[in-house]
Structure 1
Amino acid sequence: MIKGRIHSIESMGLVDGPGIRTVVFFQGCPLRCAYCHNPDTWNLQGGTEITPKELLKKLLRFKPYFEKSGGGVTFSGGEVLLQPDFLIEILKLCKENGIHTAIDTSGFGPGKFDKILKYADLVLLDIKHANDSGYRNLTGQSKKGLDEFLKALSNSNTKLWIRHVVVPGLTDSKEHILKLGKIIKGIKNVEKIELLPYHTLGINKYEKLGINYKLNNVPPMDKEYTKELENLLKEYIKKKRL
């Protein structure tokens, strides 16, 4: 019997896809992003063990609420791709029950991407950095994992929203944003692009867990400048596609 591990369930997600979303946070992540605000999801052995059918039963309780808004369920993390068999089964069950699904991912997992994308209605893809050295510095992993997922996306018709966190001194230069644009313009089915300003709201979790926070001296990102960079990115992609 397939079982997965989840960290928690949020019933009123408003920024995790279209409409009101029930958000299921999966346990376990292969990345160690310097700005991660959920370090308590890193350990794959943590969380609560559950079967796909048990999880579906919980999700169906919320269906009357998210269905009215054109919403659905978003599977987040941690990293959802780290538990592919469990993810595939719950995506199948949601589809059978008329539930719109989204996966919020960094694109890192052991495989079965094609099958996952077959059943997911939407992908929220968090691109951490535009080159391999920057990716390693920020996440502790090579950008190769993301590149493999991008290949699977190119063979899929799944709709895509792209997100990128802008961190002062790391990902906030115009040069970096244009390099990100080069990656995005080569991806199909992109419906939405968002640049998110870095914030420090998760620091207290590191203190409680006794984990060193790598960006301790980095201030929150200016929201207006983040919007300026987002407009620059969208204009660049628009010109390249004309």
Structure 2
Amino acid sequence: MINGRIHSFESMGLVDGPGIRNVVFMQGCPLRCLFCHNPDTWDFNSGTEISSKDLINKIIKFKPYFRNNGGVTFSGGEPLMQPEFLLEMLKLCKENNIHTAIDTSGYGIGNYDEILKYTDLVLLDIKHVNNEDFKTITGVTIDKLKEFIEAINFSNTKVWIRHVVVPGITDSDSHIKELKNFIKTIKNIEKIELLPYHTLGVEKYQILKKDYKLKHIKPMDKVLCKSLEKKLQ
């Protein structure tokens, strides 16, 4: 039994992988993405401590609802920053025949090969595709993401690519072309989604008394976002 820290638990997630899913939002993230809408997940010492036993028992109660290849998605925060707890939970899910997914930016502290053995699907959130812009957006370098992609390419784990389109930052044709070339380096991709930037998390920054650096940017047009997505096919 291993203890971990989670931020929250969603019982009926519909946009975090296939089917109906439990979503475990794990606490702690080393990235400081300019467009992050969950700044309350950053602090590694916050959230709720829970044992792997208690969490799997909670998940099993919802198993009858996991239709259409539903299951559990470990999100965050950044789930790869709690590798021991994440691996234990993935193993317990597989022991109970539950489909597993990880929603990640690819920034972790190792043990990727073992983690991916028990992961059916990776929802890989690509923040940017070159080191300079990646660091501007996240505060960290792109190196960890590239390490994780290397591990994915040695695994059989399926991948869904996600990328947030921010007006004036990641919405140009040249960027989309660069993104397309970057995505070509990743194996086992089933799906590519461009997510329109939104401002739904701004109030959290006000509550936490943090500065929201993109307050001058309006939400991304959803129709335009879909048209850019077609260019990646």
Q: Shared fold (TM-score greater than 0.5)?
A: yes
Deviations 1:98-141 (A, max 9, x none): 10010000000110011100101100000000111110110000
Deviations 1:32-91 (A, max 9, x none): 00010100000011111111111101101111112x332000000000000000000000
Shift of 1:185: 1.0
Letter in 2 for 1:34: L
* SS of residue matched to 2:170: coil
- Structure 1 match to 2:81: 82
- Structure 2 match to 1:49: 49
Deviations 1:180-205 (A, max 9, x none): 11111121100000000000000000
Letter in 1 for 2:123: L
Letter in 2 for 1:94: C
* SS of residue matched to 1:60: helix
Gaps of 5+ in 2: none
Deviations 1:201-233 (A, max 9, x none): 000000000000010100000111111110011
- Structure 1 match to 2:10: 10
Gaps of 5+ in 1: 235-242
Letter in 2 for 1:142: T
Which whole-Å CA distance do the structure 2 matches of 1:70 and 1:230 have between them? 25
* SS of residue matched to 1:233: coil
- Structure 2 match to 1:229: 228
- Structure 2 match to 1:212: 211
Deviations 1:147-195 (A, max 9, x none): 1101101100100000000001110101001111111112110000000
Provide TM-score, normalisation by structure 2.
0.99
Which whole-Å CA distance do the structure 2 matches of 1:127 and 1:173 have between them? 16
- Structure 1 match to 2:20: 20
Letter in 1 for 2:5: R
Give runs of ≥4 in structure 1 deviating > 3 Å: none
- Structure 2 match to 1:120: 119
Which whole-Å CA distance do the structure 2 matches of 1:229 and 1:70 have between them? 28
Give the RMSD, CA atoms, in angstroms: 0.7
- Structure 2 match to 1:97: 96
Report how many residues are paired.
233
The structure with the greater share of residues assigned to helix is 1
Identity across aligned pairs (percent)? 65
* 1:34 and 2:34 matched: yes
